[in-house]
Structure 1
Amino acid sequence: MSLSPVDLRARAEAASGHLPGLILSAERLASMVAPGAHGLRRAGPGEDFWQYRPASEGDTARSIDWRRSARSDVQFVRDREAQTAQAAGIWLSRDAGMDFTGGPDRPTKAERGRLLALALGMLMLRGGEKVALLGQPPRAGRLQAERLAEGLVTRADDTDPAAALRPQMRVVVISDFLSDPAWVQTLLARAAGLGSMGVLLQILDPDEATFPYAGAVEFRAPGGGPRHDSRDAEGLRNAYLQRLADRRDWLSAQARQAGWQFGGHVTNAPASEVLGWLWQALGQGAR
Structure 2
Amino acid sequence: MAAAPDHATQEITAVRRADGESRSLAASLPRLVLEARRIAATVIHGLHGRRRAGHGESFWQYRRFVSGEPSQNVDWRRSARDDHLYVREQEWEAAHTVWLWPDRSLSMAFASKGSRDSKLERALIVTFALAELLVAGGERVGVPGLMNPTSSRSVIDKMAQAMLHDTSNRASLPPSFVPSALAEIVVLGDFWSPMPEIREMLAGLSSSGAHGALVQVVDPAEESFPYSGRVEFVEPESGNVITAGRAQTWAEDYVARVAAHREEIRAETAKLGWLFSTHTTSRSAAELLLFLHGGMMVSKSAGGGIMVKAGRSA
State the alpha-carbon separation in 2 of the partners of residues 239 and 226 from structure 1: 20
Question: In structure 2, the residue corresponding to 1:27 is in which secondary structure?
Answer: helix
Further displaced range: 271-280 or 158-167: 158-167
Corresponding residue to 1:163 among 176, 180, 183: 176
CA shift, 1:88, in A, is: 1.1
Shift of 1:17: 6.7
The answer on 1:139 being equivalent to 2:174 is no
Report the CA distance between 1:178 and its aligned residue. 1.1
In structure 2, the residue matched to 1:53 is none
Aligned-pair distance for 1:94?
2.6
1:113-262 equivalence runs, <5 A: 113-135=123-145, 136-157=147-168, 158=170, 161=174, 163-168=176-181, 169-223=183-237, 225-262=239-276
| Equivalent residues in 2 for 1:16-165, closer than 5 Å | 21-36=17-32, 37-38=34-35, 39=38, 40-42=41-43, 45=51, 85-135=95-145, 136-157=147-168, 158=170, 161=174, 163-165=176-178
Query: Aligned in 2, Cα 1:126/1:85: closer, same or farther, shift over 3 Å?
Result: farther
When structure 1 is superposed on structure 2, of 265-274 and 132-141 the one drifting more is: 132-141
Q: Can you list the C-alpha shifts for 1:136-161, whole angstroms capped at 9, x where unaligned?
A: 31010212231112234443424663
Distance 1:282 1:218 in 2: 41
Deviates more, 1:258-267 or 1:36-45: 36-45
Cα deviation 1:15-43 (Å, max 9, x = unaligned): 66766643331122123334342434447
> 2:237 and 2:203 mapped to 1: Cα distance?
30
- TM-score, structure 1 length as denominator? 0.75
Residue identity over aligned pairs, in percent, reads 26
Q: Which amino acid aligns with 1:140?
A: S
87-96 vs 235-244, greater mean Cα deviation:
87-96
Q: Secondary structure at the match of 2:242?
A: strand
1:33 touches 1:275 (CA, 8 Å); kept in 2? no
What SS does the aligned partner of 2:148 have?
coil
1:105–1:93: structure 2 CA closer, same or farther, 3 Å change rule? closer
Checking the alignment, whether the CA contact within 8 Å between 1:199 and 1:281 is kept in structure 2 is no
User: Given that residues 219 and 227 in structure 1 are in contact (C-alpha distance below 8 angstroms), is that contact kept between their aligned partners in structure 2?
Assistant: yes
Farther-moved stretch of structure 1 (275-284 vs 259-268): 275-284
Distance 1:193 1:244, change over 3 A: same
Moved more, 96-105 or 170-179: 96-105
C-alpha deviations, 1:249-271, integer Å up to 9, x for none? 11111111111000000111101
Give RMSD over aligned pairs: 3.0
Tell me the amino acid that sits aligned with residue 179 of structure 2. Answer: R
Compute the displacement of 1:85 (Å). 4.1
Contact kept, 8 Å, 1:19 with 1:153, in 2: the verdict is yes
SS at match of 2:207: helix
- Deviation of residue 174 (structure 1)? 1.1
Contact 1:133 1:151 in 2 (8 A): no
Q: Distance in 2 between matches of 1:102 and 1:156?
A: 27
Query: For residues 220 and 11 of structure 2, what CA distance do their matches in structure 1 show?
Result: 25
**Partner deviation per Cα, 1:149-176 (whole Å, 9 max, x = no partner):** 2234443424663522322221011110
Q: Label 1:153 to 1:271 Cα distance change in 2 as closer, same or farther (>3 A).
A: farther
- CA shift, 1:181, in A, is 2.9
Structure 1's unaligned 5+ residue stretches are 1-10, 48-83
Structure 2 CA distance for aligned equivalents of residues 46 and 279 of structure 1: 23
- Indicate how the Cα distance of structure 1 residues 222 and 19 shifts in structure 2: closer, same or farther if over 3 A, else same: closer
Letter of the structure 2 residue corresponding to residue 92 of structure 1: P
